[in-house]
Amino acid sequence: MVNYKDLGLVNTREMFAKAVDGGYAIPAFNFNNMEQLQAIIKACAETKSPVILQVSSGARKYANQTLLRYMAEGAVEYAKELGWEHPQICLHLDHGDTFELCKSCVDFGFSSVMIDGSSLPYEENIALTKKVVDYAHQYDVTVEAELGVLAGVEDDVVAEESHYTKPEEVIDFATRTGCDSLAISIGTSHGAYKFKPEQCTRDPKTGKLVPPPLAFDVLEEVEKRLPGFPIVLHGSSSVPQEYVDIINSHGGNLPDAVGIPEDQLRKAAKSAVCKINIDSDSRLAFTAAVRKVLAEKPGEFDPRKYCGPARDEMTKLYKHKIIEVLGSDGKAE
Ligand SMILES: [Zn+2]
């Protein structure tokens, strides 16, 4: 048994309470490798932003859960080395699908877990979530649950269609499970192809896809029923067109990739939404930088020469999200 507190990590309770009060959101960035983790920590240390490091099932398969946990432990020390006196770093399991997996993360030093029972019938979702909450809370580990279904593809999480969260269920669900935060479905979506072209309109000037707006009415109904309760948005990458263009003009092929416009996320961050998950955008930043270097310097074969620029591009992206979209800068001195 490893307690996250001994690793210098924090759970989400206090950071969410402050974010709800302060009208901003905590960034939840997924990480799979060293460069990505370095970029996240550097961006957060420079902006003094609390942060949630997320480990998905794909990350565990790719990088190994044990290694990722030690990397998060190292991240706390790295943050201090960068001059961040009191780093607020949470290590969170993204989309846990079984009690056993959540338990193994709690036992191994994670400070927060998500149990995603959203694909289960309502009562089974409650039973599974409550089981995880009862276990995790013994160790002061916070638990995120999910109601409603997001469309899109993220590692092993695949859904054809989205189903908005039903606001009439949230009080019952939150009360009976005891979860600390709730991921809801209001039209965000996993991956870099969040909407099919037929769901969008086209900007007549640029020819680019314009996605449908988020269902803020559903969010407002949820907030009305659970005032001050931390709400989470998954699948909230914006798919910056400049990265898509760099990728496509340097040998890539990402036709009609589309994300959530940042003004919508800015609006959400000011509400009870206090955790916004961003993964695809950093994948795009990384890939754009790597493609550019390799296209411009075909003789390059030192991975540091293309992973380095990729890391710099991700740092820039994370800082942009923190300062311009989420408003979490300066919230963790
Ligand atoms: Zn997700």
Q: Per-residue DSSP letters for 269-332?
A: HTTTEEEEEE-HHHHHHHHHHHHHHHHH-TT---HHHHHHHHHHHHHHHHHHIIIIII--TTS-
* DSSP type of residue 101: H
Q: Kindly tell me the number of DSSP H helices and DSSP E strands found in the chain.
A: 12, 13
154 Cα–ligand 1 center, Å? 7
Render each residue's pLDDT in the chain as its tens digit; 333 residues. 999 999 999 999 999 999 999 999 999 999 999 999 999 999 999 999 999 999 998 999 999 989 999 999 999 999 999 999 999 999 999 999 999 999 999 999 999 999 999 999 999 999 999 999 999 999 999 999 999 988 776 666 666 677 899 999 999 999 999 999 999 999 999 998 888 888 888 888 887 788 889 999 999 999 999 999 999 999 999 999 999 999 999 999 998 888 999 999 999 999 999 999 999 999 999 999 999 999 999 999 999 999 999 999 999 999 999 999 999 999 998
Q: Which pLDDT score, from 0 to 100, does residue 99 have? A: 98
Residues 192, 239 contacting (CB under 8 angstroms)? yes
Q: What backbone torsions phi and psi does residue 258 show, to the nearest 5 degrees?
A: -150, 140
CA of 82 to the centre of ligand 1 (A): 30
Show the tokens assigned to 272.
């009870």
178 Cα to the center of ligand 1, angstroms: 20
Q: How far is CA 34 from CA 39, 56, 310, 311, in A?
A: 9, 15, 12, 9
Q: Is 203 exposed, middle or buried (0-12, 13-18, 19+ CB in 10 A)?
A: exposed
Contact 165, 222 (CB under 8 A): yes
Burial of 71 (0-12, 13-18, 19+ CB in 10 A): buried
Residue 121, classed as helix, strand or coil, is: coil
State how far the Cα of 63 lies from the Cα of 55, in Å rounded to an integer.
10
pLDDT for position 210: 85
Does residue 209 contact residue 239 with C-beta atoms inside 8 Å?
A: no
Closest C-alpha to 93, from 155, 147, 49, 30: 30
Task: Outline where 94-203 has alpha helix (H).
Answer: 99-107, 122-137, 170-177
Specify whether 203 is catalytic: no
What pLDDT is attached to residue 198? 83
How many Å apart are CA 295 and CA 308, to the nearest integer? 15
Q: How far is ligand 1, taken at its centre, from the CA of residue 299, in Å?
A: 38
- Give Cα 236 distance to the centre of its chain: 7
Q: Which residue has the tokens 């005032």?
A: 227
CA–centroid distance, 152 to ligand 1, in Å, is: 9
Ligand 1 geometric centre to CA of 157 (Å): 8
* CB-CB contact of 288 with 313 (8 Å): yes
Provide CB contacts within 8 A for 90, sequence distance 6+.
Answer: 9, 10, 11, 12, 15, 50, 51, 52, 53, 111, 112
Query: Residue-wise over 74-104: b if at least 16 C-beta within 10 A, else e?
Result: ebbebbeeeebeebbbbbbbbbbbebebbbe
For the domain 4-326, what is the CATH code?
3.20.20.70
pTM, two decimals, is: 0.95
Ligand 1 centroid, distance to 158 Cα (angstroms): 10
Ligand 1: centre distance to CA 234 (Å): 4
Are 247 and 287 spatial neighbours (Cβ–Cβ below 8 Å)? yes
Distance CA 84, CA 50 (A): 11
pLDDT at 207: 79
What's the CA-to-centroid distance between 7 and ligand 1, angstroms? 25
Q: What's the CA-to-centroid distance between 156 and ligand 1, angstroms? A: 10
Tally the residues of the chain: 333
| Cβ contact 44:31 at 8 Å | no
pLDDT of residue 156: 64
Q: Which of 21, 94, 156, 245 is catalytic?
A: 94
